[in-house]
Structure 1
Amino acid sequence: MYMDEGRRAAEAGDWVAAGHAFVRAAMEGSAEDAELATRVTVELVPLADGGSAEAAALLAGIYLEYFNESALPVAARYARAAAEAGLPAGQRTYGHMLVTGLGVEEDRERALELFQAAAEGGDTYGMFNLAQLVDDPDESLRLLKSAARGGIVTAGAVLADRLSALDRDEEALGWYVWAAERGHTGAMNAAACWYRDGFGTKPDPVQAVRWFFVMLAHGDGNGIHEAIQMVKAGVVNEEQIREAGRLAGDSGAAEALIGAVLGGERA
C-alpha cells in the first residue's frame, strides 16, 4: 500500500510525501522501499536547501536510519535546521541526536527542551522521548499514555513496565495486552507470563497459551517452550489448547502442540 502511495506521489512530483510513504513501507519490512527511501534523498536535498523544514526533517531521519555514520554530520545539519524552523518532527529528531550524542555533542538539557516543544506540537514520538527524561513520574505516565494513544506501540509496552514497577498490575496487564494486540512481541511474552502466573488477574492458562502462540506467529519461538511446559505440567488441557489456538487465529499451532506433547501419551 505505502509503496504504491509513494510511487503516485513521486509521479506527481511530491517528493516529501513520496519519501514519507517509502519510509513507512520500509518500516514494515520492505527492502525495496528502503532502497527507494535512500534514492529519494536526491530530490529532497534541493527542497531542504531551499528552506523546506519538512524535507529537512525527513532527510535527517532517512540519513540516520538508512545511511552509515559518514552521513551523521549532514543528518545533524538538516535536523537542526528543521528544529530551528519549529517543526515538531525536526525538534524530536535533533533532540534524539543530542540526547544520544549521535553525530553531535551530547546536550541532554537542550534535548529535553526540544522534546518538550515537539510534544507540545503534538508529535507523539516527541511525547515518548520526553517521557524517558522527565523527573515527574505522573507526567511520564501521562506522556506515555498520550504517545501510545497516538499510535506509538512501544510506548504502551513501556507504560506497562512503569505501571508494573508501581505495583499497578491490573493496569499494567491491560497495557501489555494493548501492545501485544498491536504486534509488540515483548508485550506478548509479558501478557502470556502474567496470565500464566496470575499477575494483575486470576491465572488464565488459555490466554497465556494464546499469547505464546501469537509470539510464535510473529517469529519468536521462545514462548512455545513455555507453552510446552504448561502442557507437560497439566496446567492446560487439550480443549484449552484448542481454544487458545482459536483466539490466536492459529489452530494449526494448537494441533501441533497437542500432537507433540500429548500424542505420545495417547499411544
Structure 2
Amino acid sequence: MTGHVPHDGDRVRSPARLPGRVRREWAALAAPTASPARFAPHVADGLPAPVRRWLAHAVAPGAPLSETAELVMHGEIRMGTWRPFRAHQILAPPRGLVWAAATRLAGLPVSGFDRYSGGTGEMRWRLLGAVPVVSGSGPDITRSAAGRVACEFPLVPAVAPGPAVRWEPTDDDRQAVAYVRVDREEFAVTVRVSPSGRLESVSLLRWGNPDGRGYAEHPFGAAFEGEARFGDFTLPRTVRAGWWFGTDRWPEGEFIRFTVDEAAYR
C-alpha cells in the first residue's frame, strides 16, 4: 500500500492551535537534515541481521537518510473509553517530538499536545480550548517523554544506521536491541523484525505512572500491523501502543491505536 506523501505545497505545518512557544519548538525540530547521506546496502554493514533485513525492506536504495518526519494520523485513544482522534506530529529522534491531537470528551472538543524538546517534556490538554483537562511537566514527565522519543525512532528509519543508535544482537534472529541516547539517558529498545523485513514491534522499560501508584519503570511497547510506503520509506500502517507490553496486563495498559495517513521526511 502506498500512503499519501505531502508535496512542498501541502507539507504538514505546525497546528495553529499550538501555543507560540510550542510552534517554535516544532519549527526547530522540523529543520531539514543537513546534507543527508544516501542509503546503500553497505550503510547497514556491521549491524545485527534483523536490522539489516529491516532497513533493506524499509528504505529505498539511494534514499536520502532524512532524520526528521512529519506525520498525520488518526485512531482511537483511551480516555476512560476509546475515543476517536486525529493528530499531527513532528518527530526528530533523538532530539524530540511534538504530538498535537484533537478528540472529544462528553461530546465537547478536547485538544492539546505532548512534547519532548529542548531537554524537557510537557503535556497540555484543554476542553473547548480553555478548560484544563490534563497538564503536566517536571522531571517525571520529561523522563517519560524521553522514553517515548526513543521508542518511536523506527518511524524515522534513517536514524537506525546513524550515530544516534548503538545496536547489539541477541540470540533471537528476529530481534536486536537499539541503545538510544536521549539527552542524558540511554534507553534499551528491543526491535522485532519478521523474516521478510517487516517491523513487528518495539519495546522498552519506560518511566511512567500508568496505575496511579507513583512513577516507576514499566514495560512499554508497540505492535505494528500492515505497511504503507511513503516516498522512499516503508512504515507500519497501524500501531497499537501502551503499558505492560508483552505481559498479561497488556489489555489493561494499551491506550492508543492509530493509522499513519501521511508522512514526509526532511
TM-score computed with the length of structure 1 as normaliser: 0.26
Greater Rg over alpha carbons, structure: 1
Higher relative contact order (CA 8 A, sep 6+): 2
